[in-house]
Each structure stands twice: as structure tokens, then as C-alpha cells.
Structure 1
Amino acid sequence: METLIDYVLANGKITFDDKPLTLLDFALFNELGYLQLIEHLPNEWKKQDEICIHDLAPLFHESKQAIQFTFLNTKERIVLFEAFLRAKRYCHVTISHYVNDVNTEFERQFAAVVFSIPESKTHQIVFRGTDDSLIGWKEDFKLTYMREIPAQRAAVVYLRTILPILSGEVIVSGHSKGGNLAVYAAANMSEDMQNRLSLIYMLDAPGFRKVFLESSGYRRVSGKIVSIKPHESVVGVMLTSDRSPLIVASKDRGMAQHLLLNWGIDKETDSFLGLEQLSPMSQKLEKTFAIWNQRLSHYELKNLFDLLFDLLIEEGVSSLDDLSGKHPLELRKHLEVYRQLTPQQRRLFVKAFNLFILAYRSSKLPKVKADKELLRLPEFFNRQK
């Protein structure tokens, strides 16, 4: 199955004059938004208001051997970036207005960048999805119980600041949490500013609470939203969405389908390889998440996710990379903190675990006592030290 990398390789010599921007070009720019390009540049480069990405090629090739693959800078994204740098099609594309903010005090993870294509006078504002920081992942789960998470607030400020500066066509996009931020920010603009936006790409992104979908700001931009999800979407079926998505094939399975570089493409149509509907597993998960959120109060959800993440953060774990590189014994040591839960805290974990399993099994919940232990959590979480 061919992917976005194959699209870049096949179209590298075709200019935008010969082939206008396609959906796959927008997906490409969105994926490049995950790379931490600016952080590793010399200081004199960082001071520039706008950088032509192809000018980075010499620096990239000099440091290629020293590149360390991380949660964001994956091997596949580096391969994509290398193909991008070799492609004549993208030789004039620039980046600007880069922001990367991980704030532990305010529990906010936010990053955004503008890609500009001068040949077509088009700008794509890309909101990055979740990085590897535990703060970022904790913030994601706040979507289940907060009206507005800190990253959403930052996205509104960013779009309100950047949009008046740009002339020409403007597209907003994001993958995962970034797609949620793109829609949220667009919905909170004035009507005049919303009219500046051509399209909003929501790539396997979590949805929203129903009160947001009923807002006038959202209704004004909903017709511009293009929602795309892989066949076995997990993240994209969290919370609620009223947009009919384009379902795409993937060369991988399960959670690995969340990665955009695993999605299949159709070279004939310059689009993703479409399917008729989500997989049975994904459809069932969509119902499961809905039931789970209905049966757990906002207070319980907050306490659950505070417990889940804060205990690890207090242990000095700040990122998924901190955990992924650990020896199993070291990893087990970090997870020991969960044995220190109080009986009340363990009951909350048991309740949440049971509700999720029951909801997935039946897509509806029988009447059970909230604290009844129908299924046992793994013994590791229940036993005392």
C-alpha cells in the first residue's frame, strides 16, 4: 500500500503550476508540523521571521547522522522530510510564526506553525497534535470534562493573532489533538475572520462536547470542516462529532492507524484510499467512549486523570520517551507508585475500568452499583506494598 512518502517521491518534479495543491499536499504540511525543526537551528536562523525550508537542506544533511528518533521525530517523518527537501515541487515553501509551548504550571502543551506556498498565495496554519510530554497527554484527557482546555485557549489567541497578518487563501489543519484545536480556534473567531478560512482539516482528531457543537461559532464554520479518520480509528471516535468523515485505509492495524504516514493513498485521485465505513471495533469504541463519559461525572474524570498522570510526574517522569527507553525493571519501579493508592482512589480506578469493559462488551450498561467490582483490575494495581 502506497503512502504519503510515495506521493512526495512521485510528484517531486511536478511544480504547483503544473499540478495545484492537493489534499495530500495539505496532509504533508500537517505531518511536517510535528518535526521540531526550529529548536535545532543555529541562533541566527531562529531570528528570521520566515524560513524557506529548502534552505535547511545543508544543515539537515550535516546533522543527519546525529539525528535521534523520538516520539515526534520518528524515522518515517525524517524519511518524509528528506524526500520533501529533494522535491522541486516544494522548493519555495516557507515556515513562519512557530510556537512550541509546554507549560507544566498551567498544564498546557501547544505548538503551531504556518506553512506558506507563494506560488498559489496559500497559507496553511498547522496545529500540532500531542507530543510526548505527560503534560500534553494529561491535557488531552481534560477534553472529557473541561469546557476549554489550556491548549484550546492558546489556539484561539494564536489564530486571532496570525490570521490578520496573512494575505491570500488560508487553510487550518491539525492531526489528533491538533485537529480539535483547529476547529475550536476557527469556531471562536469573529464571522469576518471565519470568512477568511477556506477549509479546516480535522485528521483523526477527538471530537467535542455537545454544547460546543450547538454554538453559533461552530455552526458557521462546520461546513468548512473536512474530517478524515482511518478505518480502525480510536482517537478520532472520542467525544462527539457531527461531520461525516472520509474513512481511509491503512497499512497497519489498531492504534498504529492513528499515524498519518500509515494511511494509504490513491495516486490517481491525489487523495487517500477511501473505505465505506469505520471498522466494527472503531464503531463499538465510539459507543463505548460515549457511555463511559456519560456514566462518570466530571469530578470523577478529573480525579481519575489527575491520579493517572500526577503520580508519574511526581516520580520525575516527564515524557513518554522517558518510559519507552526504560528497562522493564526500571519501568516497573516507576509504576510502583500506583500501589500507594488509597482505598477510595482504587475504587475510582476499579469503577472506571469496569465501566469501560462493560460498555465495550455490550455498548450499553446494565444497572450496577457504582463501586461494585465486577472485573478485577490487574493485581499490580490492587495489592499493597
Structure 2
Amino acid sequence: MANILDYLDWRGDLPFSVSPFNAVDALILAELSYFPAEGIVPEGMDKTVTVAELRDCFDGKKVPHELRIISYEQDIELVNKLAESRRFDGMRLCGYVNDVDPSRDLQFAALTCIFDNFTFVAFRGTDSTLAGWKEDLNFSFMHETASQSMAVKYLSENFSEGKEVLVLGGHSKGGNLAIYATAFCDKSIRKRVRAIFAFDSPGFNEEVAASKEYLAVTSRVISVIPQSSLVGQLLSGRTQNRIVKSSASGLAQHIAYSWQVTRCGFDYAEELSKLGVFVNKTMTGWISSLDESDRHTFVDAVFSVLEAAEGETFNELGSNKRKSLTAILKALKRLPPEQRSAAKKALSQLASYGKKAFISGLEEGLADKELPKLPNPAKSAGKLLTTLKNSEVQGDGQ
């Protein structure tokens, strides 16, 4: 099954003048923003490097293992193919920023790609840091997170005086940042943005999704999600999703390298998978059942437990599973009553809405004379609820 790497093999020899820029090209640039380009791509906009220079100067041995995301090796292959591609050989790279600050729940990175006729601004999605994942959940109750604020600032500082045509995009959280930055940047910048690509990107809380600023840019958003999308169906949005086929299953479909392509674009599906429909019903019902205060307290509870393992990335937590699990279980027992209550309520609601979606799927399957293979939603939530209940007995006062 072909992916974006195969696309570069097929179409890499064709300049945009022959085969116009499309959504697959945008996904390639969104994925490029994950590449660790510190010390190679300039932070400012006055100096640039080519993707061939990026390839030649990069030393993978200098990237700590704990900072390598799941697609690290594929990203290196992507850069190698881009460097050999006629399609991207005129691209100039600059404006590389990568800022992680756990104290502010901040994980932000961006990259500017300059072409002859337009400039593409790519915002990185969530990496392996706890700060990045916590910030994703903060979208559910905050009007503006730290990375959203930085995305607006990035556009303001770098493009307020230019006249170039802008295209923005990002995968996962990066797509959310691209939309938010366009909506809330200065009007002089916003009017130059021709398109915004969001690849399996979460939406916004109800306040942002109803704002005039957001609604004014939705017509320019091109949103693509895989058939069993989870992240791209979180929170509110007013955009129409195109559904792409994926060679992966379940949550692994979030990885962009699993998305199927043709020679001229994505290989689109007509509808979500049964798992995708299940996720949509479950997560939509669950999030809407919690008010912003409940969401805030739940997120704080989850990450206070994870942070107790004293790792800044999920890779670090996984490198010593026994130590991490022990620390996490102890932290669960020490949760303050209000956080424990919020966690129990959220998990109970999750199990409830998952059960409703599961039953709904069964009913629809029976009507179609086909039983969908859906997960049992009560199991994982039930295990966590049991842990929380046990912690009430064993953990108070420890």
C-alpha cells in the first residue's frame, strides 16, 4: 500500500508547474515539521537552507532516544527523498522553532517552507513529551493554550510586513494551531492565507468554535482524517472532513505514514470505519457530558499521576516500566479528593457513553444483518475506576 514516501518516488520529478501542489504535498510538509532541525534550519527568516543541506548536516546520533517520536526513522527517509526530489529542490527552509516548557504546559514547534509562488507554514503536532499531550487535553477547557498563543505570535512576528501568499498546515495538534493562528492573527496576515490543511487534528472548545474569528476561516480549511480517527474527532469544529484510507488499524491510523495515496492525491474512503463511528459517538457524548471545570480537574488529575513517574516523555516512562508503574500507582492513591472525584466521574461517563455507542453499533449491525466488531468500552474505564476505588481504601493518608 502506497504512502507519502512512495508518492515522492512517483511524483518527485514533477515540479508544481506541471503537477500543482495538493493535499499530499501539504501532509509531507506537515510531517517535515517533526524533523529535529535544531542548529541546522535558522530560527530567523533572513537566512535559509535547502532540504539537501538539512539532510547533509543532520546527525541522527545526536538526537536522544527519549526525544525520538514513533516516526523518527521514516522522517529521516522523508528528508532524504525530499533532498533528491525535483519537486522540492527549490524549497528554502527557515523559521525553525521548537519550544517545550512543562511549567507552562507548552510544546510548540514550527517551520517555514518558502517556494517561488507561496510560503507554507508548518506547525508540529504533539511529540512524545508529557507537556505536549497535556496541552492537547487543555484544548477542551481553555480558550487559548500556550502553543496556540505562540502560533499567533509566530505569524505576527514573521509575516506582518510581507505580501507573499500563505498556506498553513499541520498534522494532529499542528492542524489545530494552523486554524487557530489564522483565525486570531492580524487581518492583514489572515487575508493572505489561501488554504489551511488540518490532518487528523483535534477541534476546539465550544467558545472558540462559536467565535466569529473561527467561523470566518472555516471555508479555507481542508481537513483530512483516517477511517478510524480518534484525535481528529475530538472537540468541536465546523469543517467537513475528507476520509483517507489507512494501512494501519485502530489508533495507529493517526500516523501519517499509514495514509494511502495515489499518484495524484489521497486514496479517499466514502465513510468512517465502524470503529471510527464508535469513537465519534463515544467521545462526542463523553466530552459534552463534562463541563469545563470537570475537564480541567480531570486533566490535572491524569497528569499529576503521570508526572509522578519523573519522566518528561512517554519514552522515558516506558524505558523503566516497573518504576514508572509503581510511581503512578502511588500517585493514584495520593490524589486529592476533588481530583479523585473528577476522575471517577469522567471515567464513569466515558464507560457509559461507550456502552451506548456500542449498543447503538450492535443495533445498526443487526439491522444490516452484520454484527460490527467493536471494542467493549467498559473494560479499560472499569479497570481505572477499580484502581481509584481501591486507592480510596488503601491510599488515604499514605
TM-score interval, smaller chain = 0.7 to 0.9
How big is each residue's C-alpha offset from its partner over 1:42-80, in whole Å with a ceiling of 9 and x where there is no partner? Answer: 9xx7787211121233324xx356766611662221222
Could you tell me how far apart the structure 1 residues matched to 2:47 and 2:304 are?
A: 37
Q: After alignment, is 332-341 or 104-113 more displaced?
A: 332-341
How big is each residue's C-alpha offset from its partner over 1:197-233, in whole Å with a ceiling of 9 and x where there is no partner? Answer: 1100011111122332332222221111101100000
Aligned ranges 1:131-150 → 2 under 5 Å: 131-150=127-146
Q: Secondary structure at the match of 2:160?
A: helix
Counterpart of 1:331? 324
Could you tell me how far apart the structure 1 residues matched to 2:64 and 2:9 are?
A: 24
Counterpart of 2:112? 114
Could you tell me how far apart the structure 2 residues matched to 1:345 and 1:23 are?
A: 42
Q: Secondary structure at the match of 2:322?
A: helix
Counterpart of 1:89? 87
1:377 and 2:384 aligned = yes
Q: Give, in angstroms, the shift of residue 12 of structure 1.
A: 2.5
Identity %: 27
Q: Give, in angstroms, the shift of residue 129 of structure 1.
A: 0.7
Could you tell me how far apart the structure 1 residues matched to 2:258 and 2:69 are?
A: 15
Q: Which residue of the other structure, out of 202, 217, 221, is the alignment partner of 2:217?
A: 221
Could you tell me how far apart the structure 2 residues matched to 1:255 and 1:276 are?
A: 19
1:169 and 2:165 aligned = yes
Q: After alignment, is 223-232 or 163-172 more displaced?
A: 163-172
Q: Give, in angstroms, the shift of residue 142 of structure 1.
A: 0.8
Could you tell me how far apart the structure 2 residues matched to 1:375 and 1:56 are?
A: 48
Query: Which amino acid in 1 is paired with 2:107?
Result: Q
Could you tell me how far apart the structure 1 residues matched to 2:147 and 2:63 are?
A: 28
Q: Give, in angstroms, the shift of residue 126 of structure 1.
A: 0.7
Q: Which residue of the other structure, out of 232, 243, 248, is the alignment partner of 2:244?
A: 248
Aligned ranges 1:51-70 → 2 under 5 Å: 51-60=49-58, 63=59, 70=68
Counterpart of 2:75? 77
Listed as ranges, the gaps of 5+ residues in structure 1 are 366-373
Could you tell me how far apart the structure 2 residues matched to 1:24 and 1:298 are?
A: 36
Counterpart of 1:193? 189
Could you tell me how far apart the structure 2 residues matched to 1:235 and 1:254 are?
A: 11
Q: Which residue of the other structure, out of 343, 349, 355, is the alignment partner of 1:349?
A: 343
Counterpart of 1:20? 20
CA contact (8 A) 1:71 1:320 kept: no
Q: Relative to structure 1, is the Cα distance of residues 313 and 219 closer, same or farther in structure 2, using a 3 angstrom cutoff?
A: same
1:340 and 2:303 aligned = no
Q: Which residue of the other structure, out of 258, 261, 267, is the alignment partner of 2:257?
A: 261
Could you tell me how far apart the structure 2 residues matched to 1:96 and 1:165 are?
A: 17
Could you tell me how far apart the structure 1 residues matched to 2:266 and 2:113 are?
A: 21
Query: Which amino acid in 2 is paired with 1:93?
Result: M
Counterpart of 1:49? 47
Could you tell me how far apart the structure 1 residues matched to 2:144 and 2:322 are?
A: 38
Query: Which amino acid in 1 is paired with 2:38?
Result: I
Q: Relative to structure 1, is the Cα distance of residues 346 and 2 closer, same or farther in structure 2, using a 3 angstrom cutoff?
A: same
CA contact (8 A) 1:189 1:217 kept: no
Counterpart of 1:370? none
How big is each residue's C-alpha offset from its partner over 1:175-212, in whole Å with a ceiling of 9 and x where there is no partner? Answer: 11111111111111343322201100011111122332
Q: After alignment, is 186-195 or 122-131 more displaced?
A: 186-195
Counterpart of 2:37? 37
Q: After alignment, is 158-167 or 79-88 more displaced?
A: 158-167
Counterpart of 1:11? 11
Query: Which amino acid in 2 is paired with 1:288?
Result: T
CA contact (8 A) 2:278 2:358 kept: no
Listed as ranges, the gaps of 5+ residues in structure 2 are 360-380
Q: Secondary structure at the match of 1:228?
A: strand
CA contact (8 A) 1:14 1:88 kept: yes
Paired residue total: 367
Q: Which residue of the other structure, out of 305, 315, 321, is the alignment partner of 2:315?
A: 321
Q: Give, in angstroms, the shift of residue 166 of structure 1.
A: 4.3
CA contact (8 A) 1:291 1:363 kept: no
Could you tell me how far apart the structure 2 residues matched to 1:344 and 1:223 are?
A: 42
Query: Which amino acid in 1 is paired with 2:34?
Result: Y
How big is each residue's C-alpha offset from its partner over 1:295-337, in whole Å with a ceiling of 9 and x where there is no partner? Answer: 22222211111121123324421111212322x3233223232
Q: Secondary structure at the match of 2:110?
A: strand
1:312 and 2:310 aligned = no
Query: Which amino acid in 2 is paired with 1:31?
Result: E
CA contact (8 A) 1:35 1:73 kept: no
Q: Relative to structure 1, is the Cα distance of residues 281 and 216 closer, same or farther in structure 2, using a 3 angstrom cutoff?
A: same
Counterpart of 2:200? 204
Query: Which amino acid in 2 is paired with 1:92?
Result: G
Q: Give, in angstroms, the shift of residue 272 of structure 1.
A: 0.7
Q: Following TM superposition, where does structure 1 have runs of at least 4 consecutive aligned residues deviating by more than 4 angstroms?
A: 45-48, 64-69, 378-381
Could you tell me how far apart the structure 2 residues matched to 1:164 and 1:46 are?
A: 17
Q: After alignment, is 133-142 or 191-200 more displaced?
A: 191-200
Could you tell me how far apart the structure 2 residues matched to 1:244 and 1:207 are?
A: 12
